[in-house]
Structure 1
């Protein structure tokens, strides 16, 4: 076995991948959205964007949502991938300070729910999504969503610190770091939006739903660590559980892969147990059927996304295909998405919450 064999390794999951019937149309519409904000500068960027298929992956998160709601999630997930791509570019080109400026400005946009004035394309796209999303649910939900967006960007900063140091996080630290930076946490929040429901804080922060969120992130991240290892190994990326097990436990590739698969199985069992135990918590809170049904749909969406990512990683995107197999670069520069210092002062809070 070598790291390239893992690209097409099927990892069985006991969840059904349910895909929205209009996923291809969503990919087309999200590409138009990305071009509207200047993220895709030319036809070559548009072709690469199509082959990456970020919106098609999003379809697994919202299999029965309305097309409009599915597009909102697809645009958010596309934005998350754009930030991830820019983060990778910052690492490989030595522009971590530029990425930090971008990350700080993104947090400002989240806190202010939007900006006005000339800003880089990725910030304009984020501002657009904030103005359209935050009003959809209550102040309590907005607080949770803001927190999880903050954790995502802080997670990127922590990942970058390890990468810059050329070190991998330890096995105990790795799951929390990877979970925060993965964007699964805010995407689970978006499930409440598309399911037209809202979990009370007492249930959301209860042990069962917190475990559902954590296991969804862990299973998706560990699965991705195996499928993306060839690309990350070539780039000497230190944020991968296989690398962590090699560096901290002295495992060879076969041993580390076997351990990651064991960890996935453990988290599957934990996820299934949490999906069962949440019933008792809903009973104790005397939640009405409408909320209970919404919770079950959110859990179904998480399960579909876990299975969908496993399938998408292997068969539906070029994102994790090594360059020597791909024959062309995957990178999109997103119209020079990094912030210049001079642009920071022009990013001001939005009065109208519109861009």
Structure 2
């Protein structure tokens, strides 16, 4: 259903003014955000998959606007946009005239937050705030022309990459709610962390060419070069080794969570839902690697595709914040 979802998300994005014309819509299709979202939702209903696809589309649009702010020297304006997004998350929506991406975020918040309990809502809001704060921290490193240390890099990328709130969305589409005692336990926290690390570091390899060309300091290859003196080929080998190690960590955590569920005396319905959420994370890990290579032009280092990657998400995207 991913191609059909891509068409529906495109219509949704046009409704909020994120895609100005047919040319922007054609570029948006080549980016394929809904096709990636489908990997998070291997057995979800079409309506639930659309919700995740719309969230992931907004996440990618914020990434694009963040990159635009960096390259055009408009970080102060991006900060205003980020603070407007934080207010939407806090208020669970927005009123009055707002930029297109804020209107889209507001629409998602009003449709998503009521679907689970207040406990889940607080957790989801926290992870959305971490994402936006993560953007601010990434921008600080970029503005300073410095790369994070190897010890700092994983935490920074986990916060900024949107895996944390997307893992929360897995509970929505699986019609389940994890108790906080399990969510914040060592096994599930390790599953979240490994999912983020594997996906981020895989993305670092796929996006390496265009990020090196742009002199972007937020890439694990750059971190290993700057802080450990590794050349390009050695860095790539090391990152692949680190990814393999985190895959093993993820599998180990998925096995050990059974003991934590036993200790909490969770009923079969919750246990089955937890297993589905873990499966969704593993599906997304594998799917992102495939999507990066075959289903999007976002990371293609081809001059002819640079224009395709650039979309004007509403005229004067920061001017009305």
* TM-score, normalised by the number of residues in structure 2: 0.99
Q: Does 1:256 align with 2:235?
A: yes
- Check the 8 A contact 1:86/1:337 in 2, yes or no: no
What residue number does 1:303 align with? 282
- Residue 337 to residue 128, structure 1, CA distance change in 2 (3 Å): farther
Superposed CA offset, 1:23-78 (max 9, x none): 00000000000000000011111111000000110000001001000000000000
Match of 2:37 in 1: 58
- Deviation at 1:197? 0.2
Look up the SS of the partner of 1:31 in the other structure: helix
Question: For 1:127, which of 102, 106, 128 is the aligned residue?
Answer: 106
* d(CA) in 2 for partners of 1:327, 1:74: 23
Aligned residue pairs: how many?
Answer: 321
Structure (1 or 2) with the greater helix fraction: 2
Task: Please give the residue correspondences for 1:297-336 in structure 2 after superposition, counting only pairs within 5 Å.
Answer: 297-324=276-303, 326=305, 328-336=307-315
Indicate whether 1:140 and 2:80 are aligned: no
Q: Is the partner of 1:334 in helix, strand or coil?
A: coil
CA contact (8 A) 2:100 2:317 kept: no
Correspondence 1:270 to 2:249:
yes
User: Aligned-pair distance for 1:325?
Assistant: 5.2
Equivalent residues of 1:122, 1:337 under 8 A apart: no
| Residue 169 (1) aligns with residue 174 (2) | no
Find the aligned partners of 1:163 and 1:272 in 2 and give their Cα distance. 34
Q: Does the 8 Å CA contact 1:99/1:338 hold for their aligned counterparts?
A: no
Instruction: Confirm whether residue 28 of structure 1 aligns to residue 10 of structure 2.
Output: no
CA distance 1:23–1:329, change in 2 (3 Å): closer
Deviation at 1:322, TM superposition (A): 1.6
Within the candidate set 100, 117, 125, 2:79 is matched to 100
Runs of 4+ in 1 over 3 A off after TM superposition: none
Do the aligned partners of residues 222 and 95 (structure 1) sit closer, same or farther apart at CA in structure 2, a change above 3 Å counting? same
2:62 maps to which residue?
83
CA distance in 1, matches of 2:210, 2:74: 20
Partner of 1:8 in structure 2?
none
In the TM superposition, what are the counterparts of 1:35-50 in structure 2 within 5 Å? 35-50=14-29
Gaps of 5+ in 2: none
Cα distance in 2 for partners of 1:232, 1:108 equals 31
Higher relative contact order (CA 8 A, sep 6+): 1
Contact 1:323 1:329 in 2 (8 A): no
1:181-200 to structure 2, matched below 5 A, reads 181-200=160-179
Structure 1 unaligned blocks of 5 or more:
1-21, 345-355
**CA RMSD of superposed structures (Å):** 0.9
